[in-house]
A and B are shown apart, each in its own frame.
Chain A
Amino acid sequence: MSARSPTHQTRSHRSGPVPPSLRSNLLVLAALLVLLGLSAGSALIPMGVFNEVANLGIAAMKALLVLVFFMRLKTDSPLLRLVAAAGFAWLALLVALSLADLLSRQNLLPPW
Chain B
Amino acid sequence: MSTAERIAPSYLEEGFSLRSWLGTRDHKRIAILYALGITFFFFLGGLAAALIRLELVTPAGDVLSAETYNKVFTFHGVVMVWFFLIPSIPATLGNFLLPLMIGARDMAFPRLNLFSWYLYIVGGLFTIACLLLGGVDTGWTFYTPFSTMFSNSNVMLAVVGVFVVGFSSIFTGLNFIVTIHTMRAPGMTWFRLPLFVWSMYAVALVMMLATPVLAMTLALIALERLFGVGIFDPALGGDPLLFQHFFWFYSHPAVYIMVLPAMGVVSELITAGVRRRIFGYKFMVWAIVGIAVVGFLVWGHHMFVSGQSMYAGIIFSILSFIIAVPSAIKVFNWTATLYKGDISFTAPLLYALGFVGLFMLGGLTGLFLAATALDVSLTDTYFVVAHFHYIMVGGSVMAYLGGIHYWWPKITGRLYSEAWARFAAILMFFGFNLTFFPQYVLGWEGMPRRYHEYLPQYQVLNVLSSAGATILAVSYLLPLGYLLWSLRHGARAGANPWNAQGLEWTTPSPPTLHNFEETPQVTGGPYAYEQP
Interface residues, chain A, CB within 8 Å of chain B? 79, 86-87, 90, 93-94, 97-98, 100-106
A7 to B422, CA, bound (A): 62
Once A101-B300, A101-B309 are accepted as A-B contacts, the answer to whether A90 and B242 lie under 8 Å apart by CB is no
User: Contact between A87 and B245 (Cβ–Cβ < 8 Å)?
Assistant: no
- How far, in Å, is A71 (CB) from chain B's closest CB? 16
Residues of A within 8 A of B309 (CB): 100-106
Which among B209, B245, B300, B308 is the interface contact of A90 at CB below 8 angstroms?
A: B209
Which among A87, A90, A98, A100 is the interface contact of B311 at CB below 8 angstroms?
A: A100
A40 to B332, CA, bound (A): 59
A94 to B296, CA, bound (A): 9
Which among A86, A94, A101 is the interface contact of B213 at CB below 8 angstroms?
A: A94
Interface residues of B in 210-238 (CB under 8 A from A): 213
Once A104-B312, A105-B309 are accepted as A-B contacts, the answer to whether A97 and B300 lie under 8 Å apart by CB is yes
A77 to B300, CA, bound (A): 35
Which among A93, A98, A100 is the interface contact of B296 at CB below 8 angstroms?
A: A93
Once A94-B249, A97-B297 are accepted as A-B contacts, the answer to whether A104 and B209 lie under 8 Å apart by CB is no
A86 to B289, CA, bound (A): 14
Closest to B253 in A: A90
Interface centre among B299, B312, B316 (most CB of A within 10 A): B312
User: Contact between B209 and A101 (Cβ–Cβ < 8 Å)?
Assistant: no
Is B315 an interface residue, CB under 8 A from the partner? yes
Is B122 an interface residue, CB under 8 A from the partner? no
Closest to A106 in B: B309
Residues of B within 8 A of A100 (CB): 309, 311-312, 315
Residues of B within 8 A of A97 (CB): 245, 297, 299-300, 312, 315-316
A103 to B311, CA, bound (A): 10
Is B487 an interface residue, CB under 8 A from the partner? no
Residues of A within 8 A of B242 (CB): 98
Closest to B182 in A: A15
- How far, in Å, is A93 (CB) from chain B's closest CB? 6
Residues of A within 8 A of B308 (CB): 101, 105
Q: Which 3 A-B pairs have the closest CB atoms?
A: A101-B312, A104-B311, A104-B309
Closest to B242 in A: A98
Residues of B within 8 A of A106 (CB): 309-310
Interface residues of B in 269-309 (CB under 8 A from A): 296-297, 299-300, 303, 307-309
Residues of B within 8 A of A79 (CB): 181
Residues of B within 8 A of A101 (CB): 241, 245, 300, 303, 308-309, 312
User: Contact between A98 and B209 (Cβ–Cβ < 8 Å)?
Assistant: no
Mind listing 5 A-B residue pairs with CB under 8 Å? Answer: A86-B209, A97-B297, A101-B300, A101-B308, A106-B310
Residues of A within 8 A of B303 (CB): 101
Besides the contacts A93-B297, A97-B312, A103-B309, what 8 more A-B pairs have beta carbons closer than 8 Å?
Answer: A90-B296, A93-B296, A94-B213, A94-B245, A97-B316, A98-B242, A101-B312, A104-B309
A interface footprint on B170-205 (CB within 8 Å = 1, 0 otherwise): 000000000001000000000000000000000000
Interface centre among A87, A104, A106 (most CB of B within 10 A): A104
A79 to B245, CA, bound (A): 30
Residues of A within 8 A of B316 (CB): 97
Residues of A within 8 A of B181 (CB): 79
Closest to B311 in A: A104
Closest to A94 in B: B249
Residues of A within 8 A of B315 (CB): 97, 100
- How far, in Å, is A50 (CB) from chain B's closest CB? 21
Residues of B within 8 A of A86 (CB): 209
- How far, in Å, is A58 (CB) from chain B's closest CB? 22
- How far, in Å, is B389 (CB) from chain A's closest CB? 27
- How far, in Å, is A94 (CB) from chain B's closest CB? 5
Closest to B181 in A: A79
Residues of B within 8 A of A93 (CB): 296-297
Once A98-B242, A101-B241 are accepted as A-B contacts, the answer to whether A87 and B209 lie under 8 Å apart by CB is yes
A93 to B295, CA, bound (A): 12
A97 to B242, CA, bound (A): 11
Closest to B299 in A: A97
- How far, in Å, is B372 (CB) from chain A's closest CB? 13
Which among B245, B307, B310 is the interface contact of A98 at CB below 8 angstroms?
A: B245
Closest to A79 in B: B181
A87 to B181, CA, bound (A): 18
- How far, in Å, is A99 (CB) from chain B's closest CB? 9
- How far, in Å, is B214 (CB) from chain A's closest CB? 12
A90 to B300, CA, bound (A): 15
Residues of A within 8 A of B311 (CB): 100, 104
A51 to B300, CA, bound (A): 31
A103 to B315, CA, bound (A): 14
Residues of B within 8 A of A98 (CB): 242, 245, 249
A102 to B245, CA, bound (A): 10
Residues of B within 8 A of A102 (CB): 239, 241, 309
- How far, in Å, is B347 (CB) from chain A's closest CB? 39
Residues of A within 8 A of B297 (CB): 93, 97
A100 to B181, CA, bound (A): 35
Residues of A within 8 A of B209 (CB): 86-87, 90
Closest to B308 in A: A101
- How far, in Å, is A23 (CB) from chain B's closest CB? 32
- How far, in Å, is A87 (CB) from chain B's closest CB? 7
A106 to B313, CA, bound (A): 13
A86 to B310, CA, bound (A): 29
- How far, in Å, is B380 (CB) from chain A's closest CB? 19
A110 to B311, CA, bound (A): 19
- How far, in Å, is B417 (CB) from chain A's closest CB? 46
A100 to B239, CA, bound (A): 15
A87 to B205, CA, bound (A): 10
A6 to B514, CA, bound (A): 34
- How far, in Å, is A102 (CB) from chain B's closest CB? 8
